[in-house]
Amino acid sequence: MSKSWIPNALTSMNLVFGVFAVLTVVHGDFTVAAYFVVAALVADSLDGRAARYFGVSGEFGKELDSLCDLGSFGVAPAVMAYLFLLKNFGWLGYLIAAFFACCGAFRLARFNVNVSTVKGYFMGLPIPCGGALVATVTMIQPGLPDWLFAAFVAFVGFLMVSKVKYPDFKGHGEKIKPLPVVLTLLIVIGMVYKIPASWLFAPFFTFMLFGLINSIFATKSK
């Protein structure tokens, strides 16, 4: 029996957790829904490693992974965002939620076609991080104004399809500079100190913010 079922099962669990997130948030439990999205991210991080470990990497697994990612990190967070505050905007809320999910789809498609040419960094914010950002910010319910939350969701969607270079910590991509690291950590530490409930949001926010600041410094140094 082929060992490919092991990574494929992990990939499928990614989608299962994404579906659980949607079903949970429909009943109004944003905290548990956010945990399910993070659980999907953990499953997503393990399937590729399992495939490489067992030597069963293939096109089927890659396609399955992308489809599951879209469900768990594109659709599920979009539904969460809509039920959280975007619903207050009527049809505009529909459009922002759909925009986020579509950006995730474009991000995945671009990654798949550029996987052999883009090395050492992620072009645009990876969709698992983007989905986790939106999911966990609904969990902490920071009392953001409706318009600011809507702008945040749209901005995260934009970052996914942007050309901002995020480090993958595996190759020789955008050089990591010390000052952006320090600035990012200071901002995130201050946020967690001010809002202790943001501890689960903090790692994803750190990655998002660092990529932006590091790219700005890299552009200025050229």
For the stretch 53-77, pLDDT in tens is 787 788 888 889 999 999 999 999 9
- pTM attached to this predicted model: 0.92
Parse the chain into domains and list their residue ranges.
5-172
pLDDT at 142: 67
Low-confidence spans in the chain with pLDDT less than 70: 1-2, 116, 142, 169-174, 220-222
Q: Are strands 165-167 and 121-123 parallel, antiparallel or unpaired?
A: antiparallel
In the chain, DSSP finds a helix count (H) and a strand count (E) of 9, 2
One-letter amino acid for residue 169 of the chain = F
Q: What is the pLDDT of residue 115?
A: 73
CATH superfamily, domain 5-172, is CDP-alcohol phosphotransferase transmembrane (TM) domain (1.20.120.1760)
